[in-house]
Amino acid sequence: MQEMVGRELSSFYPEKNSKTEKTELLRVEGLTRKFVFEDISFSLKKGEILGLCGLVGSGRTEIARGLCGIDKTDGGTVWLDGEKINIKNYASAIRNGLCYLTENRKLDGLFLEMNIVDNICALQLDHFSQKGIMQAKEMNRVTDEFKKSLNIKYNDKKQLVNSLSGGNQQKIMIAKLLALNPRIIILDEPTRGIDVGSKSEIHNVLRELSGHGIGIIMISSEMPEIVGVCDRVIIIREGRLVHDISGHEVTQKNIIAAISKETKEAKEREYAQV
């Protein structure tokens, strides 16, 4: 493992912030989508990395997509910096500083048959156009900046994205979101299917972003990743928020115990109804 990562495994995850920012950045109350998730309420502090954890099918991805307006919700209120905001669709989420990184980069995260520049700038076409003419110089400048800051490896920025490795594709998808200058980033399986070295680089990018006050919500099926990266974890089961774990309590043992407890209680209720 050390040979693959290039350093000791103990340093694979970046050091967490020693002091948690107390300023509330995002507050969600009663977010509901009938038959999918119900009464989801939580807060996100400035610079915090919050994990959404649960078994596959628990509703964690659906909650993230509902919060960002990608999927329609039936109720709930969202505040940003103490001000109530109305997220009707994903475009309005972006305008309010929220963005979402999909779990499936090949299906709906990237334009695989387009080049690197066009992918990174795709969500900000208005910004990069002047009187209907795309400003290639500015688009190239932004692409070069992200190549350096995210350590994206490619030979030519005009390469098609489908010619790159999975790790570099993932970095380009992250760059596409960062080009929006977001205040909150929601990442669904941000390191799925990529090499160990790229995973470590992305973890460090997330910690660096949190250090600049950006709020991050992360979904991952990899328990070590949740424990190694997240400052706080909320447990989702059957579309409901059932536990909130923070600080030194964010351990694999505690998370598994919380999930197992709720699963056991659900089975006991199911048996009682038979």
Helix (H, G, I), strand (E, B) or coil at 274: coil
The CA dihedral of 179, 185, 191, 194, to the nearest 10 degrees, is -10
Tokens of 235: 């447990």
CB atoms within 10 A of CB 179: 21
Given a cut of 70, is residue 8 above it in pLDDT? no
Helix (H, G, I), strand (E, B) or coil at 270: helix
DSSP state of 134: E
pLDDT, tens digit (0-9, with 9 covering 90-100), for 209-231? 999 999 999 999 999 999 999 99
pLDDT, tens digit (0-9, with 9 covering 90-100), for 28-82? 999 999 999 999 999 999 999 999 999 989 999 999 999 999 999 999 999 999 9
pLDDT at 4: 38
Scan for tokens 């990608």, then name that residue.
70
Asked if residues 201 and 149 have their Cβ atoms less than 8 Å apart, the reply is no
> What are the distances in angstroms from CA 128 to CA 93, 117, 159, 175, 179?
20, 11, 20, 15, 11
Q: Sign of the CA dihedral 61, 64, 70, 74?
A: positive
